[in-house]
Amino acid sequence: MNLLNSITVFFLCASLWAQTEPDYGFADDYIPELAQFEYYRGEWESEMEMKQEDGTFKKLEFVATIQGKFLDDHKTFQSQFKSGERFFSTDIRTFNTTTNEWHAFFLNAKAQRWHKFTSKIVDGKMTTLVKGGYSGKEKFDVKVVDTVISDSCYLKNVYHSTDQMKTWELVYKISVKKTKQSEMK
């Protein structure tokens, strides 16, 4: 009887532990391109460097946490970006099989900013283009290029263009490191 009780307690505890693990979803296998955001699943912490007037980059005292996950339909990807009480934004995106790119809707409700943008793989890197910046009203466009270094680290280079995306200037370097890993499907 003790063995049966021990086995029951073990499975009960294992079940409870599994329920407390975060779920970052997974991409539907039916559309292979959905797996392009698998690298982004999980919880991350980022540090940022900003370009100075002299061309050097200076580390900012701005640490943000990011969560990326596939929603329950396994076709929609959501990321949340926050830095304490100062900043929160989220975006929802899914792959458009007609245009072969990701279409996203960005929201920063606190700052009253809603905007749309697109992402796609360019030269093996996820590349996001945001016309008019994240408010849609900036005097510059934004390009973000994600370079995956490993399963637990990637870099985001953020560029601005003031000439309708003809030339780009690197303005931010963001180092992103995983804090919680998602189990693969």
pLDDT at 46: 93
CA distance 115 to 137: 10
In terms of C-beta distances under 8 Å and separation of at least 24 residues, what long-range contacts does 106-113 make, across chains too?
106/130, 106/134, 108/134, 111/135, 113/89
Q: How many helical (H) and strand (E) elements, i.e. helices and strands, does the chain have?
A: 1, 10
Tokens of 18: 């599994």
pLDDT at 1: 52
Give the percent of the chain with pLDDT over 70. Answer: 85
Residues in the chain, pLDDT under 50:
3-21, 184-185
Amino acid residing at 54: D
Longest dimension (CA), the chain: 77
Contacts of 179 (CB under 8 A, 6+ apart): 42, 43, 44, 45, 65
pLDDT at 26: 92
SS3 of 92-158: the string is EEEEECCCCEEEEEEEECCCCEEEEEEEEEECCEEEEEECCHHHCCCCCEEEEEEEEEECCEEEEEE
Amino acid residing at 22: P
3-class secondary structure, 175: strand
pLDDT at 6: 45
Domains and their CATH numbers in the chain: 2-180 (2.40.128.20)
- What pTM does this model have? 0.82
